Amino acid sequence: MGALAKTSPSDLDLDDLDAGQAIVAQPTIDRERVARYFFRAGLWANFLLTVMTIGFWSPVLLVWALGLGQWHSTRRAQELDVRLLSGRLLIKDGVFNRTRKTIPLDKITDVGLQQGIIERGFGLWRLNIQTASAGQPTAEGQLFGIVDPKTFRGQVLGQRERWLDGEELEGRPGQVALAPASTRAPAQRLQIGGAAAPSRAELDGAVERLDRIESLLAEIAINTRRS
């Protein structure tokens, strides 16, 4: 067996981040169209900066228009890669400022579809990956140039639901795989650390009892103040 090739941080690929999880979906990216979009968006952004700085930014606009923009846009389109795994979403993007993101599916709250004026001209949609831990107005991850973005959005959200319901347990330490929730017997529960996890009915009952206790404490506090 030959020696394994060493991977340096500069050429880190998504294959090095999948952690052995199966690929659920890998959408097709329209690289030619998204490259043209990147070039036009960069040209428009540099033009606005030139106007705002009263011409100070004009050399950057000129360099972008005469060659750098075309090279950068084509290279970025080639670098784009997205993979949906059983429990996470991997994103690869960037040329100078490279990004390799791993977003756990249980952290994703929504996948938004956005189409600006320039994107509309190229027939493209942007997928914004929103997470509970983002804590900022911008998305945790943005996906460009995906062919049939609505289908991929449904795949991401559907896989997230399966992961949260315990149907996809591959790669989860300390857990055993069960049949899908729709085919499991009511008494079959997820085993975590050797103990059975509470059922939904038990959780609902516990929440209801806590609400009653809270109401009783509030009533006692009101009566105490009156006395």
- Type of residue numbered 193: G
pTM: 0.67
Detail the DSSP E strand segments found in 36-177: 81-85, 88-93, 99-104, 108-114, 126-131, 141-144
Within a domain: residue 183?
Answer: no
Q: Are residues 208 and 156 in the same domain?
A: no
Q: Are 33 and 124 in contact (CB under 8 A)?
A: yes
Detail the DSSP E strand segments found in the chain: 23-25, 81-85, 88-93, 99-104, 108-114, 126-131, 141-144, 191-192, 195-196
Q: Are residues 92 and 141 in the same domain?
A: yes
For the four alpha carbons of 129, 26, 98 and 150, in that order, the dihedral sign comes to negative
Band (4; pLDDT cuts 50, 70, 90): very low
Within a domain: residue 143?
Answer: yes
Q: What is the pLDDT of residues 181-207, one digit of tens each?
A: 444 444 444 454 455 555 666 666 666
CATH code of residue 156 = 2.30.29.30
Q: Are 130 and 108 in contact (CB under 8 A)?
A: yes
Q: Are residues 25 and 117 in the same domain?
A: yes
Count of domains forming the chain: 2
Within a domain: residue 108?
Answer: yes
Give the best-scoring range by mean pLDDT among 134-138, 151-155, 216-220.
151-155
Within a domain: residue 127?
Answer: yes
Within a domain: residue 42?
Answer: yes
Full residue range of the structural domain in which residue 220 is found: 197-226
Question: Residue 72 pLDDT more than 80?
Answer: yes
* Domain boundary pick from 146, 164, 182: 164
Read off φ and ψ for residue 96, nearest 5 degrees. Answer: -80, -50
Q: Are residues 144 and 209 in the same domain?
A: no
- Type of residue numbered 39: F
Q: What is the pLDDT of residues 80-121, one digit of tens each?
A: 999 999 999 999 999 988 889 999 999 999 999 999 999 999
The β-bridge partners of 141 are: 129
Within a domain: residue 181?
Answer: no
Within a domain: residue 175?
Answer: no
Question: Residue 135 pLDDT more than 80?
Answer: no
In this predicted structure, what is the pLDDT of residue 188?
A: 46
Q: Are 49 and 62 in contact (CB under 8 A)?
A: no
Q: Are residues 144 and 52 in the same domain?
A: yes
Q: Which residues of 33-51 are buried (b: 16+ CB within 10 A; e: fewer)?
A: bbbbbbbbbbbeebeeebe
